[in-house]
Structure 1
């Protein structure tokens, strides 16, 4: 291995990890300001070959400018600036040619606070992930605005009409308008609940309140609700394989998962909707089997196009144009994974969509 290769693959400052193992760019300069580490990710993000950076002064090897065209290393001055400065927060900077990168830096000092700088550690990230996040947020705002506009317009229209022309309507007409207002208010409430769920899922703060639940009973309750709403009872088939292991989960959130999957099967699928609940033993760790409760919901409709399957659990994916915000399955996946489970989708044996989610069964370890 060449000297340049050894420098490019140098260990991190604490010696715990090879720089090439990092997904982000890493650039390290020594006490003399010369670059001693320039990993592959840094080369990919900056477009600068490691051989062109190693051994050169940091400001020359990584010529960064701020968005106003000022040379960043002169402004930062890690070796001759404030003796108490130990880091620079992440910010947008530009490389020659206008390439935009996200840069943060740490200054490792001799006595950890005010001594001379021993190393400057620079982290580089591309802006693609941030732009994807910004696009996702923009899509979310646009979707929310669109979904809110319709019910709120309806609520505003009916309430204004009733207030201005109350005496002109019969009781039946008033009831119909108020029922419409109530349904649209419920629609807004559901959307707000979805947004709160997404916020908690993205932040890793989705709270799970575990209790022992009867999953087959929950399935039957949802099917009864669908038939009471007018769906033909013969459209549902429930298959339960006994005995099932005890299942500790958040009853409300599992209801949310079942409700979403059944609603999708009824709305977007065709033919019989089959719900299967069965136990399964699968590897949890090498040499260790764990009990799982597995639920499968399948229909006989046209199914999901093969090219769309990887996007089913992403935000805003819609199986059709027939209603929905495209957020439900994203939330379903977040709920299942928060329980320590998994969920997948494929084409069922009769051609329709088949959703299968698994939940770890038995008493949770923290409760033992």
Structure 2
């Protein structure tokens, strides 16, 4: 028997036991009192019948009830349903059922015990002829409670009999998919993604949701493992090339194969390759920091036109090398806006976008930078991230390159994804993704109809004024 089945069985038994125990307690505290109260009401109603038989002289024939009329002052019996005549003094009471009761001690209603051991319920009805006491054996109440307890006991036994197979059945029903999920989790942990098998399809509960969540996790981990392997291959290649150049340059210098100008040229080549390696390492470290939950943003209000102007200034030299112009398009209304950003990080993000666009844009062409208002309905379902506003400022960078392959466009934001034209390690857009996510900005990429790619991000209204 599985541990889950044992827990089900334990909880079933505990639940049934608690329910039956509560029923026992409630029946003892309330049902018995309620039934006794009904018995007093019955005694009260029966007292009218007994009094009528006394007044009319008819013989009272109900053996369940016994009645006696007692003098209110002397507490002597006047008449009883057992002895139909008038009785006064001890002689008339010596063999009477009622002669054993001291009526002066009896209250309006309650219980009293006969010397033969029988407990009686009694009810006192004051009349003009004296006090009429009506008695009935308490055995009716006891029998009623015995029946109640018997029924509860039977229910308890039936509950146990039913709960055992039910607990086993439910235990198996839950254990089977859980064990399957455990097996799949172990397969995922060991990297054996092909061993994953989705078996829960029609349970319509949280286990089905968990199974699909695990499948999604498997797909994501499988993709990340693939990208990581590609990244290691890219890193190995990208590190190997400059390291080889540095080694060859230093060997040539060490072996005195170069003249003074050659030594200078080779040394400069080594410095360039060291800078390249340093940039690679810096990008990896920067991405790692951005992905840390503790990494803070240094936000402040920045004029959007001044922010764009600083990017144009820093990027002009790089664009001029390819004779590429940067067309910045936004209205006067937008230029007066301020945005709440980490200026340094978003500046780096913009430079990454523009650098990628410049790489794929042909010489003597242009890149377009657009800034304008959009509504959330326009971007809903196309942008990455969670919509938090109805109004956004959209900043997009449009290049004139060949566009992005369809099989790559959904992966472009993932780290280690490397375009063959980029020449880098595939970390630039991954860094941009983390920067935009830290800002809580939406972002997307798509191919333009007439060619080229359009990278965009969206600043919600709470971050501009």
Taking structure 2 as the reference length, the TM-score comes to 0.49
Matches within 5 A, 1:1-368: 31-32=7-8, 54-56=170-172, 125=214, 128-129=218-219, 130-165=221-256, 168-171=258-261, 173-213=262-302, 214-227=306-319, 230-232=321-323, 235-244=325-334, 245-270=337-362, 271-280=365-374, 289-290=390-391, 292-348=392-448, 350-360=450-460
CA RMSD of aligned residues (A): 4.1
Offset of residue 277 of structure 1: 2.8
* 8 A Cα contact 2:231 2:425, kept in partner: no
How many residue pairs align between the two structures?
Answer: 273
Counterpart CA distance in 1 for 2:452 and 2:272 is: 31
**1: CA distance between counterparts of 2:341 and 2:245?**
38
Give the direction of change, closer, same or farther, for the CA distance of 1:100–1:34 in structure 2 (3 Å limit).
farther
Native 8 Å contact 2:445 2:453 kept in 1? yes
Q: Deviations over 1:112-159 (max 9, x none)?
A: xxxxxxxxxxx8746825444433333332222221111122122223
Q: What whole-Å deviation, never above 9, does each CA across 1:9-42 have from its counterpart, x for those lacking one? A: xxxxxxxxxxxxxxxxxx9656246899xxxxxx
The ranges of structure 1 where at least 4 consecutive aligned residues each deviate by more than 6 angstroms after the TM superposition are 57-61, 283-288
Describe the shift of the 1:260–1:288 C-alpha distance in structure 2 as closer, same or farther (beyond 3 A).
closer
- Give the whole-Å Cα distance in 1 for the aligned partners of 2:224 and 2:9: 35
SS at match of 2:241: helix
Kindly state the Cα deviation for residue 322 of structure 1 after the two structures are TM-superposed.
5.0
- CA separation of 1:355 and 1:63: change in aligned 2, threshold 3 A: closer
Q: Deviations over 1:269-298 (max 9, x none)?
A: 2332111233556589999655x4432111
> Highest Rg: 1 or 2?
2
Can you list the C-alpha shifts for 1:209-267, whole angstroms capped at 9, x where unaligned?
22333321233123313145x2215x322223223321222222222212211111111
**Is residue 300–residue 341 contact of structure 2 (8 Å, CA) maintained in 1?**
yes
Q: Distance in 1 between matches of 2:464 and 2:422?
A: 39
Judged with a 3 Å threshold, the aligned counterparts in structure 2 of structure 1 residues 325 and 55 are, in CA distance, closer, same or farther, namely same
Gaps of 5+ in 1: 1-26, 37-51, 68-89, 102-122
| Distance change >3 Å, CA 200–CA 363, structure 1 → 2 | same
Deviations 1:69-97 (A, max 9, x none): xxxxxxxxxxxxxxxxxxxxx86699xxx
Asked whether the equivalents of residues 216 and 277 of structure 1 are also in contact (C-alpha less than 8 Å), the reply is no
Structure 2: how far apart are the matches of 1:53 and 1:199?
A: 49
Shift of 1:205: 4.4
**1:34/1:225 CA distance change after superposition, 3 Å:** farther
